[in-house]
Chains A and B, each alone.
Chain A
Amino acid sequence: MKIVYLKNNIYFLIKYYKFLLKKNFVKINLTKCYSINNNLTLSKDYNMRKVLFNDLNKVLAKVFIIILFFLIIMYLFNSARDGLKKIEKNIYFKIVILDFISKPITFIRLAEIYSIKKNYKECNLYLEYAKNMFNVQPPTQSLLDKYNLLIKECDNK
């Protein structure tokens, strides 16, 4: 146990994972690879499969790479979730988005979501928006039915 050994070990680890990242996108082909002797020199004609890869490690090496990708995806998901929440709270952003929409279907959908959440104030508001939009784009019969159903649900409560 000495601090002198730390540099060599970290050097080995960096080399190992660099190699894995290079090769693992296509296929793990371990017959021709860099490997490390006791003196930590590089030699190409060395069978790494016997030395470094016991049965468990073969699986784990693949999993490690998959997990690295997974990490990136996870943080993307989390950031997207936070961003959506912030948009929902921001009033000005909401107004700008709603002004772009000129179809009654979207407003009826939003009203349906709020009725499921039992937020009837919001539901009524979006239904009014939808009613205004009927002049711009005349609705079909099925849409009108749904609209009437939602008005019954939200107005009574």
Chain B
Amino acid sequence: MRLPLQIEKSLKILIGIFISVALITFFYEKHINSLKIENGFDWYRIMSVNIFLKCNEYYCESFLIPLLSNILNLNNNYIQYTNANIIYYIFVGSFFNIFILYKENIKIALFSIFIIQSSIFYNLYFLQPNFPDFIFIYCSVFSIYCYLKFDKYIYFLLPFSLHPTLALFILFFLIAIILLEKPSKKNHITLINLINITALGFMLSKIYLLLVDSSGYESRFKFIINNFHLLNQKSGLLNANLFDTLNYITIGCLLFYLILNKSRIKIIQLFFVITIGLILEFLSFDPIRIYRTFTTPLLFYIYYENCLSKK
């Protein structure tokens, strides 16, 4: 039995609203304790106050959210800034959920929401909302979706303005996949487009850093190189439990799905994603965070490309 079209669409939107409301309540409850601490994580607020003036730290690359809160004048207070960040996250998440439910088949949409949400949920227990990670994940998934479905590449600039080094690694992976495919006109066009957008997006952050008065420690690469001797003590992979970093629920479900579809190449890609994510986690100091933010958009990519190739 099949429902009429209008009812089906309205049902989809209702599901989207329901999921996003559930997400909001969950997210807000976890962070209501962290909001009360005044001496907490205050890097990005100070950055938003001094935007286009001065910034001397490694996180100066990611400038979109501080710029937004500077324009809207939401950086007067620590509590105000964290509230603003939660509101951005709610807005982006609910927009994405409704968007994908409206555009796609309901099975695909729900599974892709599951992939994102199941890999994020563990982060919510300990992570501050002031990090740009959640919005980065949603924006990169959205840009990958637009690239696969509509051949539009401009949306890759969003993740580049949020977290340029991770976006670089994600796009390197996408380029590497197409480099290994059979040469044809279509593949060459996508290759050129992807390379151009990486150059443009990486320069977007570098242009911002040129305008700012900084002491030369403004990028994350330099931070890693300067603190390379501390990796044995402070590495994010070694300090946390391995089963906390691995999002094994999503990986297991995706593996099961890919085995049922008999797509051997996608399984190899999945293992490559996991290994690169673990290497990046080893190079960073924060546990769990980097691995999750790197892998979730690429897991979505593997899943959704498999759906498109079936048709």
Contacts and interface: CB of A to CB of B under 8 A. Distances in A.
Nearest to A77: B210
How many residues of B sit at the interface, in one of the four size bands?
Answer: 20 to 34
Given A12-B188, A13-B191, A74-B206, A60 B196 contact: yes
A51 B275 CA distance: 37
B192 A52 contact: yes
A3 interface: yes
Interface string A1-28: 1110110111011001000000000000
Interface string B182-202: 111101110111011101100
Given A64-B195, A68-B199, A71-B203, 10 more contacts: A1-B180, A2-B180, A9-B178, A9-B180, A12-B188, A54-B189, A56-B152, A57-B192, A60-B193, A61-B192
Interface string A56-92: 1100110110011011001001100110000000000
Interface SS majority for chain B: helix
Contacts of B179: 5-6, 9-10
Contact of A52 (B188, B197, B200): B188
Given A13-B195, A60-B193, A5 B200 contact: no
A43 B210 CA distance: 43
Contacts of A82: 216
A67 B154 CA distance: 16
Given A12-B188, A81-B216, A56 B193 contact: yes
A151 B188 CA distance: 69
Top 10 nearest A-B pairs by Cβ distance?
A60-B196, A8-B183, A1-B180, A67-B203, A9-B179, A1-B265, A64-B196, A64-B199, A67-B199, A6-B179
A36 interface: yes
Nearest to B154: A56
Interface centre among B179, B188, B206 (most CB of A within 10 A): B179
A1 B200 CA distance: 27
A116 to B, nearest CB: 15
Contact of A60 (B188, B197, B206, B210): B197
Interface of A: 1-3, 5-6, 8-10, 12-13, 16, 36, 38, 40, 51-52, 54, 56-57, 60-61, 63-64, 67-68, 70-71, 74, 77-78, 81-82
Nearest to A54: B189
A72 B285 CA distance: 31
